[in-house]
């Protein structure tokens, strides 16, 4: 075993950081498909993503490894779960773009690490420090503030946080090559996507009609636009510390928030200000707690 388990961390930071920057700006791409339903866009992402991923896998000479994953029931089950999770996440995010709720989507991705901690406590009986417990409570308060202001329980931000939090957890624990895993995920969803898109085509209600080449190219381009950042994320996540990944993940919602308010004209209301204040304060508590834990670990390693 290497003496330095994080020797690839600079490359991992490049992959993961680049991923979050791309994800931050990608709403501008989906906004070009205004008028196409979020579900249909997701189906095209699956269709073209599967075709591009399979072709690239063949060029890499890894079709044998993909077939081996399909024969491994435990890995296949894990990737089946992650494919559903990421499909749900894609659809909700595109819905946010289509309905001008990107500020809400940004909140969802800020909530992701806090939701992950809450999942650890609730589902795996993990111990958290008092600061982290306070952070979870503040995240809950942020959702409560929105619920009072909206008059109903908000669903977009929690749904995005839960779906992507579980996706990251499953992929982190599934020992497969990043691109091989993505190929399997898209192939598992491909039959459903093909059937539904075929139905749309026969009914004459689909967006891919050949009558609008620009829109058709954008739908096809959704494949690589989807796959490249996901491949970079998977490659980066396996090379760097979770604490580093946790810091980098704030790039994406920060950029998306700026895109939403400065480029796409979404309002940032008083309720948003209060909600984000709770979340940002919670994330600050997590950062302080993490730094304190690292300092304690260093002191413990120092000779007396």
Spell out the per-residue pLDDT of the chain, length 304, in tens.
444 445 567 888 888 889 999 999 999 999 999 989 999 999 999 999 999 999 989 998 999 999 999 999 999 999 999 999 999 999 999 999 999 999 999 998 888 878 777 777 777 677 778 888 888 888 888 888 888 877 777 899 889 999 988 888 888 788 898 789 889 999 999 999 999 999 999 988 999 988 899 999 999 999 999 888 877 877 787 777 766 776 777 888 999 999 999 999 999 988 889 888 988 898 888 888 877 877 777 777 776 5
Q: What local confidence, expressed as pLDDT, does residue 98 receive?
A: 92
- CA 97 centroid distance within chain: 15
Q: What local confidence, expressed as pLDDT, does residue 37 receive?
A: 93
Helix (H, G, I), strand (E, B) or coil at 238: coil
Q: What local confidence, expressed as pLDDT, does residue 48 receive?
A: 95
Q: What local confidence, expressed as pLDDT, does residue 237 receive?
A: 73
Tell me the angle at which helices 213-237 and 9-25 cross, rounded to the nearest 10 degrees. 150
Helix (H, G, I), strand (E, B) or coil at 241: coil
Between CA 182 and CA 50 the distance in angstroms is: 8
Between CA 123 and CA 125 the distance in angstroms is: 6
Q: How many residues does the structure list for the chain?
A: 304
Between CA 103 and CA 160 the distance in angstroms is: 12
Evaluated on CA atoms 160, 166, 168, 174, the torsion sign reads negative
Q: What local confidence, expressed as pLDDT, does residue 246 receive?
A: 67
Between CA 304 and CA 299 the distance in angstroms is: 9
Q: How is residue 48 written in tokens?
A: 């073209």
Q: How many Cβ atoms are within 10 Å of 221's Cβ, its own excluded?
A: 17
Q: What local confidence, expressed as pLDDT, does residue 8 receive?
A: 63
Cβ–Cβ < 8 Å for 166, 85: yes
User: At which residue do the structure tokens 């009986």 appear?
Assistant: 125
Q: What local confidence, expressed as pLDDT, does residue 2 receive?
A: 44
The dihedrals phi and psi of 43, each to the nearest 5 degrees, come to -65, -40
Q: How is residue 304 written in tokens?
A: 């007396």
Between CA 148 and CA 162 the distance in angstroms is: 21
Q: How many Cβ atoms are within 10 Å of 37's Cβ, its own excluded?
A: 17
Q: What local confidence, expressed as pLDDT, does residue 297 receive?
A: 74
The domain locations on the chain are: 9-101+156-267
Q: How is residue 27 written in tokens?
A: 């709403």
Residue 92, Cβ density class (10 Å: 0-12 exposed, 13-18 middle, ≥19 buried): buried
CA proximity to 157, closest of 115, 123, 120: 115
How far the first Cα of the chain sits from its last, in Å, is 29
Between CA 288 and CA 44 the distance in angstroms is: 42
């Amino acid at each position: 075993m290497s003496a330095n388990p994080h020797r690839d961390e600079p490359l991992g930071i490049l992959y993961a950081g680049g991923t979050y920057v791309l994800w931050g700006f990608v709403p501008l791409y989906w906004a070009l498909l205004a008028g196409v339903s979020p579900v249909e866009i997701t189906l095209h992402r699956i269709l073209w993503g599967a075709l591009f991923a399979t072709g690239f896998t063949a060029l890499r000479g890894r079709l044998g490894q993909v077939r081996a994953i399909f024969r491994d029931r435990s890995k296949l089950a894990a990737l089946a779960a992650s494919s559903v999770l990421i499909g749900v996440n894609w659809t909700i995010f595109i819905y946010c773009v289509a309905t001008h709720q990107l500020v809400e989507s940004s909140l969802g991705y800020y909530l992701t690490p806090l939701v992950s901690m809450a999942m650890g406590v609730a589902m795996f009986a993990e111990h958290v420090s008092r600061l982290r417990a306070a952070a979870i409570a503040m995240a809950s308060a942020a959702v409560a503030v929105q619920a009072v202001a909206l008059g109903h329980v908000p669903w977009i931000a929690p749904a995005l946080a839960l779906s992507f939090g579980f996706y990251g957890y499953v992929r982190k624990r599934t020992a497969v090559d990043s691109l091989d895993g993505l190929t399997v995920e898209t192939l598992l969803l491909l039959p459903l996507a093909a059937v539904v898109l075929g139905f749309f085509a026969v009914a004459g209600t689909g967006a891919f009609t050949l009558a609008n080449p620009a829109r058709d190219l954008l739908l096809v381009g959704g494949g690589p636009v989807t796959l490249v950042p996901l491949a970079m994320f998977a490659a980066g996540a396996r090379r760097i510390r979770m604490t580093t990944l946790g810091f980098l993940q704030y790039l994406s919602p920060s950029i998306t928030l700026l895109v939403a308010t400065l480029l796409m004209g979404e309002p940032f209301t008083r309720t948003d200000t209060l909600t984000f204040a709770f979340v940002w304060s919670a994330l600050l508590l997590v950062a302080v707690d993490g730094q304190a834990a690292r300092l304690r670990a260093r002191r413990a390693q120092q000779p007396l």
